[in-house]
Amino acid sequence: MVAKTPSASSNTWNCNLLMDKIAGGCVWLELVKYTLIITEKPAAANRIATALDERSKPKKTSQNGVPYYEAYRGGCIVVVPAIGHLYTITSKQKIRGYPVFDYHWVPRYQAEKGAERIRVWLKVISDLAKNAETFVDGCDFDIEGSIIGYTILKYACGEKQDTAKRMKYSTLTEEELQATYDNLLPHLDFALIEAGLTRHEVDWLYGINLSRALTEAAKSASGQYTTLSTGRVQGPTLRFLEEREKDIQTFVPAPYWSLTAKISIDNEVYIAEYEKTLKTLAEAKMIQATTKTKAGTIDSVGVYESTINPPVPFDLGSLQSEGYKLFRYTPMRTSAILQRLYLDALISYPRTSSQKLPPSIGYKNILKKLQKAPAYTKQATELLIKPSLKPNEGKKIDPAHPAIYPTGNLSQKPLDAASKNVFDLVVKRFLAVFAEPAVRQSVNAVVNLNGNLFRFSLMRTLVEGWFRFYRPYVQVKDDVLPPLSEGQPVEVLRVTLKEQYTQPPPRYNPRSLLLEMEEKEIGTKATRAATIQTLHDRKYLNGTDHLAVSALGFEVTGVLERYCPTVVSPKMTRMLEEKMEAIQQGRENKQSVLADTVKTLKRVTSELKDKEAIIGMQLSLALRQSWLNARTVGACLKCGDGQLIILRSKKSGKRFVGCTNFFDGKCSASYPLPQRGTVKPLGSTCKSCGAPMVATYLRGKTSWRLCLNPQCTSKITGNKAGI
C-alpha cells in the first residue's frame, strides 16, 4: 500500500517528521509515497483521519481554503474531502432548446452558476493525487457516495477508479473506521456505480427535456421567463396529489345520524354507540324514542388479550415519518438532522432502507455506552441483564447498511433542540426493539336499551413490555375497567342524537405523502424528501401540513397527462426503478436503459413541440394566477371591490401593497412594507381593525405578523419565535 522503507519505525519517523516540520501546501507530499482517501464531506474527512492516525492527532492543512488531513497508520495517509457532488451532467452543446440527448459529465463549475469554488477544490484534489501511490474511496457506501467517489477518482485523479480500493462503513466511530481501513474492499462496487450513473443520466434526460418544454412554451406565450420543472419522479408524485385533490373538490357530503348513550356503571361514566349508522332522520328519531329508559342491561361481555410486539428498527422512511408525526419536522429537515448526527458519530448511516440490526454491530457494547447517560441508564441496564439480546426486526433489507441505530457515543457538545429530539427518538427505538412484547386487554360490552343495542370498548395494559422503553413516543390509553357481567343493570343518563356528514379523503401531509411514494415505489429513500421540497419550491403545492395542489400544479399535470401520460405514470417510474435494480444485479445494462429513455423522450418532446402554442397559453395563465395568489393580501378596505397585492415600485425599487383597481384609476390605496426579509400574505385579518395581515421573515428564522394599517394599535402581534 505504501512505499517500502527499512522498517516501520523509521517510516513512521520520516513521515511524522516531515508532517511536523514542513508547512505549507503539499511540499512534504512530494517526498514520500502515501495513500489518498477521498471522503464525501469535510466532517467525515476529519473523523476518518483522526480514527486512522496512530497518534489520533492528524495534521490539518488548508490549501486555498480546501482542507485535508495528514495521518500515519502503517504508512502515510492523506484524507481529502469533497463537498458533495463535484461533477454533474450537462449538455455538450450550449443550446437552450429541446430535445437534448447529447450530454457528458463535467465539473460543476462548468455547468452551474455560483459553483466556481468547485474549480479550486478539484485543483487541490488533483495536486494531491499526483504523488499518491494508493487510492481509496472513503465516501458513504450508497449510490450517491459511490458516484461522488467514482467521478473524482476518474476525472480529478487521472483514471484511478479501476485500481482504487473501497472503505465500507456504517458509522463514523473510531473502531469501525479502523476496522474497515484494515480490511479494504479490493475495488469499487461497479454494479452499484453503473446503476447510479444510469439513474442520474435518465433523470437528467427526463428533467432537462420536459422542464425545457414547459418553460419554453410558457415563455413563448407570455414573453416572460419562469422556470417550470417536472421529471421522472416529480411528475408521478404531483399526479397522485392532483388525483387526491380532485377527489376532495368533487366530494359531495352525505348526511347521517348517530346515537350515543351516556351510561353510568359503579359511578363511572361511559359512552356507548348505537350499533348501526342511521341514514335517515326519521329512522334515527324513531330509534331514539324507543331508548327512553333510565335503566338498561348488559347483554354480553367479551374479554380479549392481545400481544403487541416491539417496533422494528428505523429505516430512513419510517424515521422521517415518525419525525413528522411526533415533532412536525418535514422529511427534508429530519434528513438534515440525521446527517449531522451521523457526521458526529452519534448514529449509523441514515440513508438506509434496512429494518435489520445484525449482531456484528455489537448490541452489548452500544448498550454499555448508553448506560453512561443518565437518561438511558435504567433501560440499558435492564436490557443488559437479559440472557440474550434479539431485536424484533422488519422485513426490509438494504445490502449496504443496517437499520439506523445509535453508536453509543454521547455528544461532547450540547445538541440543539431538534437534534436532541431526533437522537432521543433513535436511541429509544433501539432500546425498544430489544424489549419484551406488551400485552393489552380489551373489554367489549353490548348494552341493551329497550331492545336497542349499544356498544362500548375499554382497554388497559396488562404488561408494559417495550412501552416503558419507548415513552414518550408511544401513547396508550388505560381505561378504568369496572366489573362487568351479562344481565348487569346500568344507569342511562342520556341518549343523544347527532347529525353528521361524510368527510372527503384527507389531503396528504408530508408524512402520508412520503409513505405513499414509498408504497408506490416512486423515487428512492434518498430523493423522496427532496422531491416534495421541489414541488413546494416550484409553487405546485400550497400549504405545509395539508398539501393542496395549486392552480399551477393542476395545469402542469394536466398538460403532461394530455400530451405525454407515460411520464406521469407511477408504473413507468416503478419500471425504471426495477431496471436500476436489474443493472445492480447484472441482469440489465446501462446502454439499453438509456436507449429506451431516449426513444420515449423523442416521441414525447415531438408531441409537446407540436402543441407548444396551446400549452404555453394554458401555462402562462396558470403562472399569472399563481403570481397573483402568492401576492394577494386581501380585500381592499378603501374601494371595496379591489384586491390588495404586494407590488414593487419601478422607480424606487421598494415594495409596497397596492390595490388592483389602481391600474384602472379607481383606487389609490397603498400601504408600506418592510424592505428586509421575505413578506408573505397570511390570508387573515387583524382582530383590532380588520385590515389584512402579512408575515415577514428574516433569514427564514425570525418572523412577525404585521397589520397593514399603520394606525392600528396592535400592528405587531407576533413574536420572534416565528409563526
- Residues annotated as part of the active site: 349
**3-state DSSP of 614-666:** HHHHHHHHHHHHHHHHHHEEEECCCCCCCEEEEEECCCCCCEEEEEHHHHHCC
Closest CA to 143 of 88, 105, 195: 195
Kindly write down the DSSP assignment for every residue of 434-466, as one continuous string.
Answer: TSPPEEEEEEEEEEEETTEEEEEEEEEEEE-TT
- Cβ count near 574 (within 10 Å): 14
Residue partners of 22: CB distance under 8 A and separation at least 6:
28
Kindly write down the DSSP assignment for every residue of 46-68, as one continuous string.
Answer: HHHHHHHSTTS-PEEEEETTEEE
Per residue in 408-441, is it b (16+ CB within 10 Å) or e — as a string?
Answer: bbeeeeebeebbebbbbbbbbbbbbbbbbebebb
Q: Measure the CA–CA gap between 433 and 474, rounded to whole angstroms.
A: 13
CA atoms within 13 A on the CB side of 35: 25
Sign of CA dihedral 480, 485, 489, 494: positive
CA angle 228, 113, 44 (to 5 degrees): 105
Grid coordinates belonging to 594: 438509456
Q: Are 657 and 663 in contact (CB under 8 A)?
A: no
Looking only at the bridges linking them, the beta strands covering 268-274 and 670-672 are: unpaired
CA angle 681, 685, 688 (to 5 degrees): 135
Q: Measure the CA–CA gap between 705 and 722, rounded to whole angstroms.
A: 9
Q: Measure the CA–CA gap between 53 and 56, rounded to whole angstroms.
A: 5
Sign of CA dihedral 479, 480, 485, 487: negative
CA atoms within 13 A on the CB side of 191: 11
**Measured CA distances, 126 to 106, 112, 152, 288, 631 (Å):** 15, 21, 9, 84, 49
- Give 104's strand partners: 90
Q: Measure the CA–CA gap between 394 and 541, rounded to whole angstroms.
A: 33
**Measured CA distances, 191 to 136, 151, 187, 584, 585 (Å):** 18, 15, 11, 5, 7
Q: How far is CA 91 from the centre of its chain?
A: 29
Max Cα distance, the chain (Å) = 103
Grid coordinates belonging to 631: 401576492
Grid coordinates belonging to 473: 413516543
Residue partners of 417: CB distance under 8 A and separation at least 6:
none
Q: Measure the CA–CA gap between 103 and 92, rounded to whole angstroms.
A: 5
**Where do we find the cell 501511490?**
133
Grid coordinates belonging to 660: 388592483
Q: Looking at residue 230, what DSSP letter applies? A: -
Tell me the residue type at 628.
Answer: L
